[in-house]
Structures are given as structure tokens and as C-alpha cells.
């Protein structure tokens, strides 16, 4: 007897002792595995004549034997080799079970949960949310056998287990490729009637309820009794196809409710939360296809890592040809999940060919438009949901703007959100532009969570113009890439010319002041050495004494961004810092007085002002101890 891997054993015990009220889902799980196995062989049959089966030959059979108390689910799919049996049924497999395992670890501490009711977040409840697959059979069976023969193999094998003790694998006499799973149902107890899973009508209802969309026929035998004219009767057996076989994405919109789609999503992707949107596409034309796409409400835990595999499931004429076809969507929408089904794709597709398929591009362009307009609609009509989306995938959209040299910026710019300093809330660029008062020429942005507190933003806000707060390292590049929106140029509040209504008169005034204080400004510059590239009288400061701005291409934010990168070639990129002084401020007056009487003191004031400018712009101070010394000098 072989032992189950630890997690598998734990999952199994959970199943065996389950008091979960929806044990019936075991049938859905086994049928879905059977369908997946057929998918795999059907795919091979497209290119491999040795499969010897037509699409119409594939089927799943459900047989109940009341005398033996067994229920059998058999398929003529790909089957499993001895190694696969070992690997797939001895350990928790990938996909859904893995996520389940993680969920399980979360609730593991709560051992008593098994005795709780099913609806209070206990592990049992998790069963309903996740596809836990094969092991769910042990909710209703005391013993399970799996006879299976891998396509192309010579030997078939039987896997047997009566639960957590372990399992055995031995050769068996199964002739055709495929898998046959037999459940030996548990004895009925006071509160549980397992015998119901031997009743044809009950099985039929379950299949209708959970597996109607399975694209292969699910066959069952039904007994029909005819009464004859002479009063006698005879019974004959007829095989029926119980499911309608039309997958949900192929059914007319009028027949499938939003709830149906959401349930399908949750079952298929093992999600507990509804998607934010369901997009249904039925396209005719150059390439005809149907698609059902979902916008998830949260990002998978590995979404922003290399492990995440984007892509839509691709079907051609009802056969699944690819599980994750990334070419069906642009990179910027890689969070979208779903299915594309087209009869127009060449049937003997290989992965390589797919990548170059012109038809795929047509589909992808169409889907890109649909996803875009769906997101826009969500933004306009259900902003709370859109914010959820933005939290999960906003960063992806920003990357999308930066990628491909800005090729997608038109597509994505009106989907971006930024915090508005005025509204103190996320807003889109269109909303910003719509609210621009007369006389505002630019869209202003500043760096920081609360731009309203930045000295540089003050004149803009005072002029009655809103400022967008940038918080992410990449935001600066996003703004540079966009350059403008709706014909309005984007402008940093650090820009030299802010284009405010009083800019011209201010400029003149500032020039005068600069001439007047030329000597003092030069003195400050010399005192600060090469920390700053220039010192000047500010045009924009109102209540703050100083601010730091930059000249040239590199901004403070870029400098910080490049500094955060692991290691870059050559010297670090440095911004050319400009110290801007407010000539109206008391501190400036103090500096001037000191310059007249005590040059040492004036030099220290200059340094303090520089530190002040650094602090208010949120940049790190290079030399905190020098700053501390200056303060202490001032106090004593
Ligand atoms: P999941 O289906 O989530 O991967 P399961 O525990 O249901 O997890 O199944 C584990 C694996 O066993 C499957 O991924 C598949 O490879 C294999 N398997 C299960 N049922 C069958 C079947 N009827 N035919 C072939 N392989 C199967």
C-alpha cells in the first residue's frame, strides 16, 4: 500500500469526514475531469490518425448498479499511465486543487471547523467554492477504483483506495483508452442517503444542474416499461444523452442570465467572487467567433510576477486547442479571462502556426475594442466597481501605456485614474478636462500622495486649477509618454512656466527681483557648491519660503526611480536641482540681513533653506548629520 502525500491525505480526510451539505458536487467534478481528458484526446485526434476516433465518438457514460451499490463514470479520453496515476491521484494536482490547498492552509489552524456548519467559513465551505476535483468522490464513496489506459499504451492500470490509509496501483485488463471511475457508495445513515446517487432521475437532475454545458454527450441508460395490449408488460433499456452539450458561450444571450455567466466563471476559475464584468461577443465577418470574457475583481496572487500565465482558452469547432492563448489579447489586457471559440481557425493548428495566424489578430483586435469599451462603461456607470478594477489592475494599464513605445496610449489614456488634489478622490483624465475652468490651458500634476500640500502646487490650486497626484514610480514616465490628453498638454507643477493667468506679469516681476538680488543669489549658489545647478527667485511660491525644482530632462522622481533600480551601468542619473527662493518670505529677508552683516551665518541660512526645500519635495536628505548640526547651531 502506498501512502498519500501529506496534503492529499489531509484533503482526503476532510472529504471522508465531510458534513458538507452539497456533496452532490462530486459528480460535477468527475464529469469535468472526464471532459478535460476527452479534450486532450480530441485535440490529438486532429492531427494523429491513430487516435481512430471522430469527434462524434467521444462520450462520457454514467452507470449505476443498485445491487452492487456502485456508480461508474467512464470516458474515452486520454487516460493515464501508471506514472500519471501515481502523480495525479497520489498528490494534490496543480490548478484548482493547489489554490484549495492554500486556502486549506489558511484555515488549518481551526481544527474544530469540521464540526461546524457549512456556511460559516469553515474548510467544508471551501469545498463549495473551489473545484477540489477527484478527491471529492470520497464524500460519498467508501472505496474508489480508477481503471485507466493511456492513449497509445499497452497496459491498463487500476488504482484503488479506501481512503486515507493509502492506495494501490496494479495492472488491469481494460481494453480501450480512457478512464473508468467506480464509486462504492457509503452505507446510508440516519441523516445521509447515499443511495440516491443510484437513482437515475436524481443523477439526471444533477447532470442537468451542473454539467449541462459539457460539450461531450453524457450518456445514461434508462429503463422503459411498456404495457402491452394483452395486459403484460416488457421492459427495455434506452441510452439517452442527458446534457444539452451546448457550452454556455455558444448559447444565445437571451437564454443565459448574468448569474449563469457569473456562476460559470466561479466554477471554472475557482473564484469565490463574481467577475466585475462579463463580456459576450458574437462576431460575424472576416473571422466569425464567439467569446465570453471576464474582468476579474482582484488580481491573482502571482499576477505581477513572471509566474502568471495570461491567455484565453481557445476552441476551434468545439475542440479545445489551447488552454492559454496569449495572442488573443493585447498585453495591456492580460488580466482578462475567458474563452474564444471559432470555426474559422484552421484545424491542424500547431502552437507555432497559431502565433502567426492572421485570423488570431483579427480576433484580438476585436476583443481589444470590446474590453476597452466595457472598462469605459464600468468607469462611467459603476465607478465603485471601476475603482476595484483599478486597484487590482491599474498598474497594468500604466505599464500598457509605457509598453511598445506608447502604441496603446490612445486606447488606455481615458482609463487611467489619478487622485485629484481638489476632489480628494480618484478621477479620470476626461473628468479633469471637463471640469477645467476657462483660462486653464494645461493639465497639472504633482508628485506625492497629497499634492495639495506641496509648495509648488499652491499657485496652481490658488488659480482654481486642479492638480493630479502621482504616487507611483512609473507615473512620471506615463505622463511623459502621454504628453497630452484631449489636446491639453500635461504639465508638472515643477515646470518653469506654469502658464497660469498671471504668469506674464509674474515673470516680469521675477526678472526684476533677480536682477536686484543677483549678488545674493550667486552667494547662495557658491555656498551650496555643486548640490544645486542654479538658484533663483521663484515665480510660483506663495506661503512657502523655498522649493526645489529641476532643469533639464531628468526630474527628481526619475532620479529616485533610477536609484531604486538594482544596478545600472555608469554613474547614477542625477537631476539638475534648482533652488527657488520666495523673495516675499520672512526667511528670505533674514537671509538678506545676514548677508549684509555676517557671511558665515548667511551661508548657514542658505544651507538650511536648501535642506528645507529637500524636505518639502519628499526627496531623501543625503547628509542628515549636517542638517542636524545646522539646526543645533541655530538653537544654541
Ligand atoms: P484537477 O482536475 O483540478 O487538476 P483532480 O484532482 O480532479 O485535479 O485531478 C487530478 C489530475 O488527474 C487531473 O489534472 C488529470 O490529469 C488527472 N485525471 C483526473 N481524472 C481523469 C480522467 N477521467 N482521465 C484522465 N486523467 C484524469
- Residue 78's domain is classified under what CATH number? 3.30.565.10
Q: Is the CB of 131 under 6 A from ligand 1?
A: yes
The reply to whether 543 and 574 lie within a common domain is yes
Joined together, the cell numbers standing for residue 50 give 491513430
Same domain (yes/no): 350, 380: yes
- DSSP-derived pairing of the beta strands 484-485 and 425-428: unpaired
Q: Whose CA is nearest to atom 19 of ligand 1?
A: 33
Which whole number is the average pLDDT over 523-536?
A: 94
Assign residue 281 a region (left: φ > 0; alpha: ψ between -120 and 50; beta: otherwise): beta
Mean pLDDT across the stretch 592-600?
94
**Ligand 1: nearest atom to the Cα of 94:** 4
SS (H, E, C) 513-553: HHHHCHHHHHHHHHHHHHHCCEEEECCCCCCCCEEEEEECC
Domain assignment present for residue 425? The answer is: yes
305 burial via Cβ count (<10 Å: 0-12, 13-18, 19+): exposed
pLDDT at 609 over 50: yes
Ligand 1 close to Cβ of residue 80 (< 6 A): yes
Q: How does the average pLDDT of the chain come out, rounded?
A: 87
For ligand 1, what atom is nearest to the CA of residue 73?
23
Domain ends where: 343, 368, 389? 389
- Residue 131's Cβ-count burial label (10 Å; 0-12, 13-18, 19+) is buried
What is the chain's length? 636
User: Cell digits for 568?
Assistant: 545600472
Q: Is the pLDDT of residue 452 over 90?
A: no
d(CA 581, CA 539): 9
CA distances from 182 to 16, 33, 145, 483 (A): 16, 14, 5, 65
- Write down the pLDDT at residue 232: 86
Which residue lies with its CA nearest to atom 20 of ligand 1? 33
Q: DSSP label at 105? A: H
3-state secondary structure of 67: coil
Q: Which of 225, 241, 257 is the last residue of a domain?
A: 241
The response to whether residue 76 sits with its C-beta less than 6 Å from ligand 1 reads: no
- Residue 132 pLDDT: 64
Q: Contact, 364 vs 330, CB < 8 A? A: yes
490: in domain: yes
Distances (CA, A) of 477 to 146, 394, 480, 551, 612: 57, 15, 5, 17, 27
The whole-number pLDDT of residue 468 equals: 97
pLDDT of 195 reads 96
- pLDDT for the residue numbered 20: 67
- Separation in Å, CA 386 to CA 266, 295, 297, 391: 20, 11, 9, 9
Q: Looking at ligand 1, which atom is closest to the CA of residue 77? A: 24
Cβ contact 42:319 at 8 Å: yes
| Residue with cell string 522649493 | 547
Per-residue confidence band for 507, with pLDDT thresholds at 50, 70 and 90: confident
Q: For position 613, which CATH number holds?
A: 1.20.120.790
CB neighbours of 18 closer than 8 A, spacing ≥ 6?
124, 127, 139
Q: Are residues 508 and 490 part of one domain?
A: no
**Stated pTM of the model:** 0.73
Q: What is the layout of strands, in order, in the sheet containing 534-537?
A: 534-537, 576-581, 546-551
Does residue 400 fall inside a structural domain?
A: no
Question: Beta-carbon neighbour count of residue 156 at 10 Å?
Answer: 23
Under a CB-based contact definition with an 8 Å cutoff, are residues 514 and 536 in contact? Answer: yes
The more confident residue out of 254 and 348 is 254
Nearest CA to ligand 1 atom 23: 34
CATH value at residue 441: 3.40.50.11260
Using the mean position of ligand 1's atoms as its centre, give its distance from the Cα of residue 80 in Å.
Answer: 9
Cβ(180) – ligand 1 distance below 6 Å: no
Check pLDDT > 60 for residue 248: yes
What helix, strand, coil percent values describe the chain, rounded to 5?
A: 45, 20, 35
* Least confident segment among 7-11, 71-75, 215-219, 604-608: 7-11
Q: What is the pLDDT of residue 450?
A: 84
Closest CA to 32 of 291, 261, 235, 320: 320
Co-location of 487 and 379 in the same domain = no
The answer, yes or no, to whether any atom of ligand 1 lies below 6 A from the CB of 394, is no
Highest mean pLDDT (candidates 539-553, 563-577, 586-600): 586-600
- The residues pairing with 72 across neighbouring beta strands, listed in sequence order, are 63, 182
Question: Looking at residue 347, what is its pLDDT?
Answer: 52
Q: Domains in the chain: how many in total? A: 4
Q: Is the CB of residue 527 less than 8 Å from the CB of residue 603?
A: yes
Averaged pLDDT for residues 272-289? 93
Place of cell 471551501: 126
Q: Where are the alpha helices (DSSP H) in 19-122?
A: 25-47, 82-90, 95-107
DSSP 251: S
The reply to whether 538 and 478 lie within a common domain is no
- Cα dihedral 522, 528, 530, 536 in deg (nearest 10): -40
Cβ(441)–Cβ(488) below 8 Å: yes
Residue from 473, 468, 467 nearest 402 by CA: 473
**Average pLDDT of 331-360?**
77
Beta bridge partners of 447: 470
User: In angstroms, what is the span from residue 33 Cα to ligand 1's centroid?
Assistant: 5
Please tell me the distance from the alpha carbon of residue 267 to that of residue 260, in angstroms, as a whole number.
Answer: 11
Contact 88 CB / ligand 1 (< 6 Å): yes
Evaluate: CB of 98 within 6 angstroms of ligand 1.
Answer: no
Q: Give the domain range for residue 257.
A: 248-389
Whole-number Cα distances in Å, 301 to 102, 305, 334: 11, 9, 14
| Cβ–ligand 1 contact at 34 (below 6 Å) | yes
Residue 396 lies in a domain: no
Q: Cα–Cα distance between 435 and 358 in angstroms, integer?
A: 43
> H helices within 48-122, ranges in order?
82-90, 95-107
Sign for the CA dihedral angle at 288, 289, 295, 299 comes to negative
Mean pLDDT of the region 529-540: 92
For the segment 14-37, the average pLDDT, to the nearest whole number, is 84
Indicate if 493 and 537 belong to the same structural domain.
Answer: no
Report DSSP letters for 474-504, one per residue. Answer: THHHHHHHH-EETTEEEEETTSS----TTHH
CA–CA separation, 627 and 604 (whole Å): 10
How far is ligand 1, taken at its centre, from the CA of residue 41, in Å?
A: 14
Asked whether residue 254 falls in the same domain as residue 237, the answer is no
Contact 219, 241 (CB under 8 A): yes
| Structure letter (DSSP) for residue 354 | H
Tell me, what CATH number does 284's domain have?
A: 3.30.230.80
- CA 222 to ligand 1 center in whole angstroms: 28
CB of 533 sitting under 6 A from ligand 1 = no
In short, whether 146's Cβ falls inside 6 Å of ligand 1 is no
**Are 524 and 469 part of one and the same domain?**
no
| Predicted pLDDT of residue 96 | 47
Same structural domain, 101 and 236: yes
Question: Could you give the percent of the chain with pLDDT greater than 90?
Answer: 56
Does 134 sit in the ligand 1 pocket, CB within 6 Å?
A: yes
Beta-carbon neighbour count of residue 634 at 10 Å? 11
Strand ordering across the sheet containing 277-283: 277-283, 289-295, 337-342, 312-316, 319-325
Task: Report the chain's terminal Cα–Cα distance, integer Å.
Answer: 83
Residue finishing a domain among 500, 525, 546? 500
Residue 567, pLDDT above cutoff 80? no
Check whether 320 has a pLDDT greater than 80.
no
| 402 located within any domain | no
CB-based contact 414:429 (threshold 8 Å) = yes
Of all residues in the chain, the percent with pLDDT exceeding 70 is 90
Q: What is the average per-residue pLDDT within 60-89?
A: 95
* pLDDT for residue 617: 79
User: Is the confidence at residue 124, as pLDDT, over 60?
Assistant: no
Instruction: Let me know whether 173 and 202 are in one domain.
Output: yes
Asked if residues 586 and 594 have their Cβ atoms less than 8 Å apart, the reply is no
Of residues 18 and 220, the one with the higher pLDDT is 220
- Whether residue 477 is contained in a domain is answered as yes
Q: What is the pLDDT of residue 106?
A: 56
Q: How confident is the model at residue 485 (pLDDT cuts 50, 70, 90)?
A: very high
Q: Tell whether 411 is covered by a domain.
A: no
Domain assignment present for 295: yes
Q: Is the pLDDT of residue 127 over 70?
A: no
Going by pLDDT thresholds of 50, 70 and 90, the confidence category of residue 92 is: low
The residue whose CA has the least distance to atom 12 of ligand 1 is 88
State whether 344 and 423 are in the same domain. Answer: no
How many Å lie between the centroid of ligand 1 and the Cα of residue 134? Answer: 7
pLDDT digits (tens, 9 = 90+) for 177-186: 999 999 999 9
Residue whose CA is at the smallest distance from ligand 1 atom 17: 88
Rounded CA gap, 368 and 362, in Å?
A: 10
Atom 3 in ligand 1: residue holding the nearest Cα: 96
pLDDT at 119: 37
- Distance from residue 90's CA to the centre of ligand 1 (Å): 11
Residues 207 and 268 in one domain: no
Q: How far does the centroid of ligand 1 lie from the alpha carbon of residue 79, in Å?
A: 10
- Name residue, grid cell 456533496: 23
Q: Name the least confident of 319-323, 327-331, 446-450, 579-583.
A: 319-323
123 has pLDDT over 50: no
Amino acid at each position: 500500500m502506498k501512502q498519500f502525500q501529506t496534503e492529499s491525505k489531509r484533503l482526503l480526510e476532510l472529504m471522508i469526514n465531510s458534513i458538507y451539505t452539497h456533496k452532490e458536487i462530486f459528480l460535477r467534478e468527475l464529469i469535468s475531469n472526464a471532459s478535460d481528458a476527452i479534450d486532450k484526446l480530441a485535440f490529438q485526434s486532429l492531427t494523429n490518425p491513430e487516435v481512430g476516433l471522430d469527434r462524434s465518438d467521444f462520450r462520457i457514460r454514467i452507470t449505476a448498479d443498485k445491487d452492487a451499490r456502485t456508480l461508474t463514470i467512464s470516458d474515452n479520453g486520454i487516460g493515464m499511465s501508471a506514472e500519471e496515476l501515481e502523480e495525479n491521484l497520489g498528490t494534490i494536482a496543480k490548478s484548482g486543487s493547489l489554490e484549495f490547498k492554500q486556502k486549506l492552509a489558511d484555515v488549518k489552524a481551526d481544527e474544530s471547523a469540521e464540526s461546524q456548519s457549512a456556511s460559516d467559513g469553515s474548510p467544508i465551505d471551501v469545498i463549495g467554492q473551489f473545484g477540489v476535483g477527484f478527491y471529492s468522490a470520497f464524500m460519498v464513496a467508501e472505496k474508489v477504483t480508477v481503471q485507466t489506459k493511456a492513449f497509445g499504451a499497452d497496459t491498463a492500470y487500476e488504482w484503488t483506495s479506501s481512503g486515507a490509509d493509502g492506495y494501490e496501483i496494479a495492472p488491469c485488463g481494460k481494453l480501450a483508452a480512457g478512464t473508468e471511475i467506480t464509486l462504492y457508495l457509503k452505507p446510508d445513515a440516519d441523516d445521509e442517503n447515499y443511495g440516491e446517487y443510484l437513482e437515475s432521475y436524481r443523477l439526471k437532475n444533477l447532470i442537468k444542474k451542473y454539467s449541462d454545458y459539457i460539450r461531450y454527450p453524457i450518456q445514461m441508460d434508462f429503463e422503459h416499461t411498456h404495457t402491452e395490449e394483452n395486459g403484460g408488460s416488457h421492459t427495455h433499456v434506452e441510452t439517452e444523452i442527458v446534457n444539452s452539450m451546448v457550452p454556455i458561450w455558444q448559447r444565445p444571450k437571451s437564454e443565459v442570465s448574468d448569474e449563469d455567466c457569473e456562476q460559470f466563471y466561479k466554477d471554472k476559475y475557482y473564484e469565490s467572487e463574481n467577475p466585475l464584468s462579463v463580456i459576450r461577443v458574437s462576431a460575424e465577418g472576416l473571422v466569425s467567433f464567439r467569446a465570453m470574457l471576464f474582468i476579474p475583481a482582484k488580481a491573482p496572487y502571482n499576477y505581477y510576477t513572471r509566474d502568471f500565465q495570461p491567455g484565453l482558452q481557445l476552441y476551434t469547432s468545439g475542440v479545445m486547442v489551447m488552454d492559454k492563448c496569449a495572442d488573443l489579447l493585447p498585453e495591456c489586457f492580460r488580466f482578462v479571462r475567458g474563452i474564444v471559440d471559432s470555426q474559422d481557425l484552421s484545424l491542424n493548428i500547431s502552437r507555432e502556426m497559431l502565433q502567426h495566424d492572421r485570423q488570431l489578430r483579427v480576433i484580438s483586435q476585436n476583443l481589444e475594442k470590446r474590453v476597452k469599451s466595457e472598462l469605459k462603461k464600468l468607469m462611467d456607470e459603476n465607478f465603485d466597481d471601476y475603482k476595484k478594477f483599478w486597484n487590482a489592475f491599474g498598474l497594468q494599464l500604466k505599464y500598457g501605456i509605457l509598453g511598445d513605445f506608447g502604441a496603446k496610449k490612445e486606447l488606455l489614456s481615458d482609463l487611467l485614474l489619478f487622485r485629484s488634489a481638489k476632489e480628494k478622490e480618484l478621477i479620470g483624465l476626461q473628468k479633469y478636462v471637463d471640469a477645467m475652468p476657462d483660462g486653464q490651458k494645461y493639465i497639472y500634476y504633482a508628485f506625492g500622495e497629497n499634492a495639495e500640500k506641496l509648495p509648488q502646487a499652491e499657485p496652481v490650486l490658488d488659480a482654481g486649477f486642479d492638480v493630479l497626484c502621482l504616487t507611483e514610480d512609473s507615473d512620471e514616465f506615463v505622463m511623459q509618454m502621454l504628453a497630452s490628453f484631449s489636446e491639453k498638454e500635461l504639465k508638472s507643477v515643477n515646470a518653469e512656466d506654469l502658464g497660469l493667468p498671471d504668469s506674464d506679469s509674474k515673470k516680469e516681476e521675477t526678472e526684476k527681483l533677480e536682477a536686484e538680488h543677483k549678488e545674493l543669489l550667486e552667494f547662495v549658489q557658491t555656498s551650496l557648491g555643486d548640490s544645486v545647478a542654479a538658484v533663483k527667485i521663484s515665480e510660483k511660491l506663495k506661503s512657502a519660503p523655498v522649493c526645489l525644482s529641476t532643469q533639464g530632462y531628468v526630474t527628481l522622481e526619475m532620479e529616485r526611480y533610477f536609484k531604486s533600480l538594482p544596478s545600472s551601468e555608469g554613474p547614477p542619473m542625477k537631476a539638475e536641482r534648482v533652488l527657488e527662493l520666495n523673495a516675499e518670505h520672512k526667511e528670505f529677508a533674514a537671509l538678506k540681513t545676514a548677508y549684509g552683516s555676517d557671511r558665515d551665518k548667511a551661508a548657514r541660512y542658505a544651507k538650511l533653506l536648501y535642506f528645507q526645500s529637500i524636505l518639502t519635495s519628499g526627496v531623501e536628505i543625503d547628509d542628515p548629520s549636517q542638517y542636524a548640526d545646522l539646526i543645533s547651531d541655530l538653537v544654541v
